[in-house]
A and B are shown apart, each in its own frame.
Chain A
Amino acid sequence: MINFFLWIGIALGCLVFVCLYRASVGPTVMDRIVAISVIGTKTTVILLLMGFIYSRIDMFIDISMGYAILNFIGTLAISKFFYSRKSIIPGSKYFAERGQKNKCLS
């Protein structure tokens, strides 16, 4: 069973590396935030798997809960930072219409 947990952890680690592609390449800032949030959710599960592998689950579960809460609060904080800012794509034409009505909702 420990080997099974080890392989699941390795598979999740590979998925984290695939998400890192979107976090580093992603065209807008929002793509990066989404990718970081996804990585955080996977890390919560990986921490619990590590707890079972080292048979110290009572210690790792607190770390995992802290990571889940910090991931949620960090995502909220970064997205709140962009609430009042108008353009996140440099040089986009929506930057000029800053004072007008919101254009996304037609």
Chain B
Amino acid sequence: MSILEIISIILILGGLFFFFTATVGLIRMPDYYCRMQATGKGDTLGAVLCLSGLALYNLDSGLSFANIIVSIKIMFIAIFIFIANPTATHAISKAGIDCEVKPWTKKKEVQS
């Protein structure tokens, strides 16, 4: 097992952990503004870590032209997710505010 494989295993396991926290947040949080707090961050970092781990593992089998192109493509997908995921999060929360969904607050729970 080479050093690149060990680094990529660590990166992919870290990404899996952040995916896991994003999913737990999606299930447990009280309303969807708070759910987006968990998913918008956890998904972005999880996907970026997983994809960079896969790009490193792909370079392990030799530095040919095709391998380098494939790694660059994987990093392109990572950069795209890095830009697109916060934008989608903002679009969904703006739709919610336009529909006048009240955000959940602690005080409201005590009153009811």
By a beta-carbon cutoff of 8 Å, the part of chain A in contact with chain B is: 1, 4, 8, 11-12, 15, 18-19, 21-22, 26, 28, 30-31, 33-35, 37-38, 41-42, 44-45, 48-49, 52, 57-58, 61, 64-65, 68-69, 72, 75-76, 79-80, 82-89, 94, 97, 102-105
Contacts and interface: CB of A to CB of B under 8 A. Distances in A.
B47 A38 contact: no
A64 B70 contact: no
Interface string B40-56: 00010011001100100
Nearest to B88: A75
Contacts, number: 135
28 contacts: A4-B9, A15-B19, A15-B23, A22-B26, A22-B35, A34-B26, A34-B32, A38-B26, A41-B43, A44-B47, A45-B15, A61-B73, A72-B80, A72-B87, A72-B88, A76-B87, A79-B92, A82-B99, A83-B95, A84-B98, A85-B99, A86-B99, A86-B100, A94-B100, A103-B102, A104-B100, A104-B101, A104-B102
Interface of B: 5, 9, 12, 15-16, 19-20, 22-23, 26-27, 32, 35-36, 39, 43, 46-47, 50-51, 54, 57-58, 66, 70, 73-74, 76-77, 80-81, 84-85, 87-88, 91-92, 94-103
